[in-house]
Structure 1
Amino acid sequence: MNDFAHVDKLEQLHRTLDATEQPPEASEDEREHPSGGWGSAKAVGSILFQERAMRHVGVLLHQNKPKGFACVSCSWAKPGKPHPLEVCENGVKATAWELTTRRATPAFFAEHTVTELKTWGDHELEEVGRLTEPMRWDKHTDTYQPVSWEDAFAEIGAELKLMPPKSTVFYTSGRASLETSYMYQLLARMYGHNNLPDSSNMCHETTSTALPESVGVGVGTVLLEDFDKADCILFFGQNPGVNSPRMLHPLQEARKRGVPIITFNPLRERGLVNFVNPQSPAEMLGDNPTWISTQYHQVMPGGDVAALMGLCKCLLETDDAAKQDGTEGVLDDAFIAEHCHGYTEFAATVRQTTWDSIERESGLTRAALQDAAEVYAQAKAVIGVYGMGLTQHRHGTDNVQMLCNLLLLRGNMGKPGAGICPVRGHSNVQGQRTVGITEKPELAPLDQLAKQFGFEPPRDKGMATVDVCEAVLKGDIRAFVSLGGNFIRAIPETDRMEAAWPSIRLTVQISTRLNRAHLIHGDVAYILPCIGRTEKDIQASGPQCVAMEDSTGCMHGSWGQVAPAAPTLRSEPAIIAGIAKALLPRNPKLDWDAWVADYSKIRAAISESLPEIFHDLSDRMWQPGGFRRPMPVADRVWKTKTGKANFLVPKSLTVDPDTPAYGPDILRLFTVRSDGQFNTTIYTIEDRFRNVVDTRRVLLMNAADIVRLGFKDGDLVDASTVVTDGQLRRVSGLRVMTYDVPPGSVAGYFPECNPLIPLWHHAETSKVPAAKSIPIRLAATAPAHAPIH
Structure 2
Amino acid sequence: MTQPKENRQRQDTPHYERASGSWGSVRGIAKVLLDQKPGPGVVQTLMRQNKPGGHMCTSCAWAKPAKPHLFEFCENGAKATIWDLTTDRCGPEFFARHSVSELRDWSDHDLEKTGRLTHPMRYDAATDHYLPVSWEDAFREIGSRLRTLEPARTVFYTSGKASLETAFLWQLFARAYGHNNLPDSSNMCHETTSVGLKKVTGSSVGTCVLEDFDHCDMILFLGQNTGTSSPRFLHELQKAVQRGCRIVTLNPVRERGLVEFVNPQNPSQMTLGSPTRISDIYLQVRPGGDIAALAGICKHLFALEETRGGIIDRAFVAEHTSGFDAFETRIRDTSWDEIERVSMLRRADLEQVAEIYARSERVIGIYGMGLTQHVHGWLNIAMLVNLLLMRGNIGRKGAGISPVRGHSNVQGQRTVGISEKPSLVPIDKLEELFNLNIPRDEGWNTAVAAEKLLDGTMQAFLSLGGNFARAIPDQSRTDKAWAGLELNVQIATKLNRSHTLVSRDSWLLPCLVRAEEDRQSSGPQAVSMEDSLSHIHGSVGKRPPASGWLRSEPAIVAGLARATLDENPRLRWEHWVGDYRHIRDLIETCWPDQFAAFNARLFTPGGFYRGNAAREREWKTESGKAQFTAPKQLCALGEPPAGEDMTLVTLRSNDQFNTTIYGFSDRLRGLEGSRDVVLMNPEEIARRGLHEGQRVTLECAVGDGIRRRVSGMRVTAYDLPDACIGAYYPEANALVPLSARDELSGTPAYKGTPVRILTDPAAAEAGLP
Q: TM-score, normalized by length of structure 1?
A: 0.95
Provide the residue aligned with 2:28 in structure 1: 43
Is 1:238 the counterpart of 2:238? The answer is: no
For 1:513 and 1:644, the matched residues in 2 are separated by 47
Provide the residue aligned with 1:710 in structure 2: 689
For 1:23 and 1:652, the matched residues in 2 are separated by 26
Is 1:392 the counterpart of 2:392? The answer is: no
Three-state SS of the structure 2 residue aligned to 1:154 is helix
For 2:324 and 2:448, the matched residues in 1 are separated by 36
Is 1:25 the counterpart of 2:11? The answer is: no
1:326-365 to 2 correspondence within 5 Å? 328-365=309-346
Identify which of 738, 758, 765 aligns with 1:786: 765
For 1:353 and 1:737, the matched residues in 2 are separated by 36
* Structure 2: runs of 5+ lacking an equivalent: none
1:539-550 to 2 correspondence within 5 Å? 539-550=520-531
What whole-Å deviation, never above 9, does each CA across 1:641-665 have from its counterpart, x for those lacking one? 211111012221132238xx73332
Identify which of 643, 667, 670 aligns with 2:624: 643
1:124-163 to 2 correspondence within 5 Å? 124-163=110-149
What whole-Å deviation, never above 9, does each CA across 1:470-517 have from its counterpart, x for those lacking one? 111110111000000000000000010001111111000000000000
Three-state SS of the structure 2 residue aligned to 1:617 is coil
Is 1:96 the counterpart of 2:82? The answer is: yes
Is 1:286 the counterpart of 2:267? The answer is: no
Check conservation: 2:269, 2:275, Cα contact below 8 A. Answer: yes
* C-alpha distance 117-139 of structure 1, shift in aligned 2 (>3 A): same
Check conservation: 2:421, 2:443, Cα contact below 8 A. Answer: yes
Check conservation: 1:733, 1:781, Cα contact below 8 A. Answer: no
Identify which of 667, 670, 688 aligns with 1:691: 670
Three-state SS of the structure 2 residue aligned to 1:718 is strand
Identify which of 38, 47, 56 aligns with 1:53: 38
Check conservation: 2:9, 2:719, Cα contact below 8 A. Answer: no
For 1:469 and 1:332, the matched residues in 2 are separated by 45
Is 1:122 the counterpart of 2:108? The answer is: yes
* Structure 1: runs of 5+ lacking an equivalent: 1-12, 323-327
Identify which of 417, 422, 426 aligns with 1:445: 426
Provide the residue aligned with 1:726 in structure 2: 705
1:414-563 to 2 correspondence within 5 Å? 414-563=395-544
Provide the residue aligned with 1:217 in structure 2: 203
Structure 1 range deviating more: 208-217 or 407-416: 208-217
What whole-Å deviation, never above 9, does each CA across 1:367-408 have from its counterpart, x for those lacking one? 110011110110000000000000000110100010000000
Three-state SS of the structure 1 residue aligned to 2:232 is helix
For 2:172 and 2:645, the matched residues in 1 are separated by 47
1:123-272 to 2 correspondence within 5 Å? 123-272=109-258
Check conservation: 2:9, 2:254, Cα contact below 8 A. Answer: no
What whole-Å deviation, never above 9, does each CA across 1:510-558 have from its counterpart, x for those lacking one? 0000000000121100000000101000111000000110000110000
Three-state SS of the structure 1 residue aligned to 2:671 is coil
Is 1:78 the counterpart of 2:64? The answer is: yes
Is 1:303 the counterpart of 2:289? The answer is: yes
Identify which of 592, 599, 613 aligns with 1:611: 592
1:623 is displaced (CA, Å) by 1.0
1:593 is displaced (CA, Å) by 0.7
1:58 is displaced (CA, Å) by 2.1
Check conservation: 1:30, 1:273, Cα contact below 8 A. Answer: no
* C-alpha distance 781-82 of structure 1, shift in aligned 2 (>3 A): farther
Provide the residue aligned with 2:728 in structure 1: 749
1:26 is displaced (CA, Å) by 4.5
1:617 is displaced (CA, Å) by 0.8
Provide the residue aligned with 2:741 in structure 1: 762
Check conservation: 1:171, 1:483, Cα contact below 8 A. Answer: yes
Provide the residue aligned with 1:34 in structure 2: 19
* C-alpha distance 640-179 of structure 1, shift in aligned 2 (>3 A): same
Provide the residue aligned with 1:320 in structure 2: 306
Is 1:408 the counterpart of 2:389? The answer is: yes
Provide the residue aligned with 1:5 in structure 2: none
Provide the residue aligned with 1:574 in structure 2: 555
Check conservation: 2:55, 2:514, Cα contact below 8 A. Answer: yes
In the alignment, residue 48 of structure 1 is paired with which amino acid? L
What whole-Å deviation, never above 9, does each CA across 1:245-264 have from its counterpart, x for those lacking one? 10000001111112110000
In the alignment, residue 677 of structure 1 is paired with which amino acid? Q
Structure 1 range deviating more: 201-210 or 278-287: 278-287
Structure 1 range deviating more: 480-489 or 589-598: 589-598
1:691 is displaced (CA, Å) by 2.2
Structure 1 range deviating more: 150-159 or 647-656: 647-656
Structure 1 range deviating more: 191-200 or 449-458: 449-458
Is 1:69 the counterpart of 2:48? The answer is: no
Structure 1 range deviating more: 54-63 or 481-490: 54-63
1:23 is displaced (CA, Å) by 11
1:783 is displaced (CA, Å) by 5.3
Check conservation: 2:484, 2:503, Cα contact below 8 A. Answer: yes
Check conservation: 2:394, 2:400, Cα contact below 8 A. Answer: yes
Three-state SS of the structure 1 residue aligned to 2:345 is coil
Aligned length: 763
For 1:40 and 1:535, the matched residues in 2 are separated by 25
For 1:44 and 1:619, the matched residues in 2 are separated by 36
1:54 is displaced (CA, Å) by 5.9
* C-alpha distance 31-139 of structure 1, shift in aligned 2 (>3 A): closer
Provide the residue aligned with 2:362 in structure 1: 381
1:690 is displaced (CA, Å) by 1.8
Check conservation: 1:48, 1:54, Cα contact below 8 A. Answer: no
Three-state SS of the structure 1 residue aligned to 2:340 is helix
* C-alpha distance 287-123 of structure 1, shift in aligned 2 (>3 A): same
For 1:283 and 1:342, the matched residues in 2 are separated by 48
Check conservation: 1:118, 1:519, Cα contact below 8 A. Answer: yes
For 2:453 and 2:189, the matched residues in 1 are separated by 21
1:666 is displaced (CA, Å) by 1.7
In the alignment, residue 75 of structure 1 is paired with which amino acid? A
Aligned-pair RMSD on alpha carbons?
1.6
Three-state SS of the structure 1 residue aligned to 2:237 is helix
- Give the share of equivalent positions with the same residue, in percent: 52
Check conservation: 1:713, 1:738, Cα contact below 8 A. Answer: yes
For 2:58 and 2:287, the matched residues in 1 are separated by 30
1:782 is displaced (CA, Å) by 2.2
1:225 is displaced (CA, Å) by 1.0
Structure 1 range deviating more: 589-598 or 747-756: 589-598
For 1:30 and 1:706, the matched residues in 2 are separated by 18
For 1:97 and 1:76, the matched residues in 2 are separated by 19
Is 1:652 the counterpart of 2:633? The answer is: yes
1:32 is displaced (CA, Å) by 3.2
In the alignment, residue 53 of structure 1 is paired with which amino acid? P
What whole-Å deviation, never above 9, does each CA across 1:583-610 have from its counterpart, x for those lacking one? 0011111211111110001111111111
For 1:571 and 1:34, the matched residues in 2 are separated by 40
In the alignment, residue 96 of structure 2 is paired with which amino acid? A
In the alignment, residue 29 of structure 2 is paired with which amino acid? V
Check conservation: 1:320, 1:329, Cα contact below 8 A. Answer: no
Check conservation: 2:286, 2:343, Cα contact below 8 A. Answer: yes
1:728 is displaced (CA, Å) by 0.3
Check conservation: 2:7, 2:284, Cα contact below 8 A. Answer: no
What whole-Å deviation, never above 9, does each CA across 1:561-604 have from its counterpart, x for those lacking one? 20111111000010001000100011111211111110001111
1:214 is displaced (CA, Å) by 1.1
